Amino acid sequence: MREIGVPHPRLPLPTTGQADDLATFLGWLTEAIPLVEHLGILAMQREDDALSWDVTLAPNLNDKGTGFGGALTAQTTLLGWCWTTLRLRRLGYARDVVVAEASQRFLAPVTGDYRLICTPESEAGPALLEKQLKARGKGRIALVQRLWCGDTLCLEARGDYVVLPAR
């Protein structure tokens, strides 16, 4: 059981040049953030600069039997945090990441299981983040999250994620 005010131990960084085992990362995330076990995340995948989750709708229902906006918003914010944290880990950084700004546009009701996909807003974003980290020890990146229910884009979110300087 997590204690309020006590940081959860960091997951050790992967070996230089290696990517995280996403199943291990998701297991750690579930321990670190208790809400995660209730979000219905079935799997996490990475392809190029995209990080995605397959999610079951059942634990995220609203009173109308469709996706609850608050749960979907939490998921988009957390997926962006995961994208940033995993990118840092691949670069050899163990840093704190916070969301500085976030917005969502709900485009269609979520009526079944879905996929959330997170990508950089700009193709240059990851390189710029790395440059900021090397120059200033901190950085910022804009990410976009899209929620697809089948072929329907139901939600588009955007967030600015800040990498804090080393403590």
Q: What is the pLDDT along the chain (167 residues), one digit of tens a residue?
A: 788 999 999 999 988 767 889 999 999 999 999 999 999 999 999 999 999 999 999 999 999 999 999 999 999 999 999 999 999 999 999 999 999 999 999 999 999 999 999 999 999 999 999 999 999 999 999 999 999 999 999 999 999 999 999 98
What pLDDT shows up at residue 84? Answer: 98
What pLDDT shows up at residue 56? Answer: 98
Handedness of CA 143, 82, 5, 15 (dihedral sign): negative
User: According to the CATH classification, is domain 22-163 in 3.10.129.10?
Assistant: yes
Phi, psi of 72 (to 5 degrees): -65, -40
Contact 97, 163 (CB under 8 A): yes
Phi, psi of 133 (to 5 degrees): -65, -45
User: What is the DSSP code string of 111-163?
Assistant: -S-EEEEEEESSTTHHHHHHHHHHHHS-EEEEEEEEEEETTEEEEEEEEEEEE
